[in-house]
Amino acid sequence: MKKPDARGYFGEFGGRFVPEVLVGALDELERAIESAFADPAYWDEYHAVLRDFVGRPSPIYRCERYVADVSAVPLLMKREDTNHTGAHKINNTVGQALLARRMGKRRLLAETGAGQHGVATATVGAKFGLPVDVYMGARDVERQALNVHVMRLLGASVHSVTSGTQTLKDATNEAFRVWAERVEDTFYVIGSVVGAHPYPYLVRELQKIVGVEARRQVLDRYRRLPSDVVACVGGGSNAIGIFAGFADDPQVKLWGVEAGGEGGKSAASLGAGTIGVLHGSRSYLLQSADGQVLPTHSIGAGLDYPGVGPEHAFLKESGRAAYVSVTDAQALEAFGAFARSEGIVPALESAHAIAFARKLAAERRAGDLILVNLSGRGDKDLAR
């Protein structure tokens, strides 16, 4: 995958639509990324923390029974659910916290939807001794109470956001506003491949390890590349992470699975949205004809977001990746079926990818091989 252009665009998507007060901080971040990424010491520390603290590399696991009734094609799971804090999110927060420390920033700021990114940020904040403020929609504070407790236990301050739809979109607005005030000493840890340039590029580079590891593991074990790689897409960081390992292998089909929701309300920005600007970049967006951002719905709180990373918009337009959607009911069914047949409780977000993979497996032939990013574990979803 290429770097975005000098103005932060992947094709016609991306850019930097932010208030002037943030431009200096984004320029500073861009310079810091360039310097850190060119410094082997930065990557050495990143990989050491991922090995000793996060537990990487995460394994790949071949499913025993989930699709055995419909297909003989091997179905592999990249086990991001086995990471410390239970999801891929920590890969990104480790890298951003190391960057923050390098830049001399004294505090971390994060938005969170389901709370997974908030927990991952609170975790690295505790580890590196940086105070953390997490902004979370009031509705999410209520429906993800367990993660709120965990963040507080880790020493983070969790701020409930009561404006707008009181979910991830509004938490992100508030995080941007707070960052504008504290821009001099605070590092904003964005949780997905969204936001203004250079964030979509930064988060991709920090999640790329998922795809790089998975490609090596699949080749080692099966002596061939997967035919298909499948990941769920909200903002799109776990998908970009695993796609990045296979983007230069044109024979590998990339599938992004969006939240189809229920009853006409979804979070499928690429499937049901139009091109617009939200949170600093041009991408696909669920919006009214007037350009007002619409409320979304998904049973997977981490997918419940009206926008999507600009690089996904680019992959869709270029045809390199295909995007499909899975409804709440289908995801719930896969959640239970996968738990019973494999002994793994997936996150409801990941269950969207798992549901689609079963459909795909039924269509695939001998010799094919399907790889799914099992992006997180489902303990957080059991209370509901």
Binding positions for other proteins, rule: CB under 8 A: 7, 15-25, 163-164, 169-170, 173, 176-177, 180-184, 274, 276-280, 285, 287, 289-293
Nearer to other proteins, 19 or 336 (CB): 19
At closest approach, how far in Å is the CB of 8 from other proteins?
9
At closest approach, how far in Å is the CB of 97 from other proteins?
23
Helix axes 20-37, 89-102, angle to 10 degrees: 100
Residue type present at position 374: L
At closest approach, how far in Å is the CB of 306 from other proteins?
9
Task: Give the side-chain half-sphere CA count within 13 A for 333.
Answer: 9
Chain centroid to Cα 223, Å, comes to 28
Nearer to other proteins, 89 or 197 (CB): 197
- Catalytic-residue membership of 63: yes
- Cα–Cα distance, 241 to 292 (Å, whole number): 30
- Cα–Cα distance, 259 to 193 (Å, whole number): 17
At closest approach, how far in Å is the CB of 200 from other proteins?
15
Reference 77, options 377, 380, 379, 359; nearest CA is: 377
The beta strand positions in the chain, using DSSP E, are 9-10, 13-14, 60-62, 75-79, 107-112, 132-137, 157-161, 186-188, 228-233, 253-261, 274-278, 281-285, 321-327, 370-374
- Catalytic-residue membership of 117: no
Catalytic residue among 63, 117, 232, 312: 63
At closest approach, how far in Å is the CB of 273 from other proteins?
12
Q: For the chain, how many residues are written?
A: 384
Helix axes 237-244, 310-318, angle to 10 degrees: 50
Residue type present at position 161: V
**Tokens 């969006």, residue located:** 258
Nearer to other proteins, 155 or 295 (CB): 295
Nearer to other proteins, 204 or 279 (CB): 279
Nearer to other proteins, 69 or 185 (CB): 185
Nearer to other proteins, 119 or 285 (CB): 285
At closest approach, how far in Å is the CB of 279 from other proteins?
8
The residues that bridge with 370 in the sheet, in sequence order, are 75, 228
Catalytic residue among 47, 88, 197, 279: 88
Q: In what order do the strands lie in the sheet with 253-261?
A: 60-62, 75-79, 370-374, 228-233, 253-261, 321-327
Hey, which residues are catalytic here?
63, 88
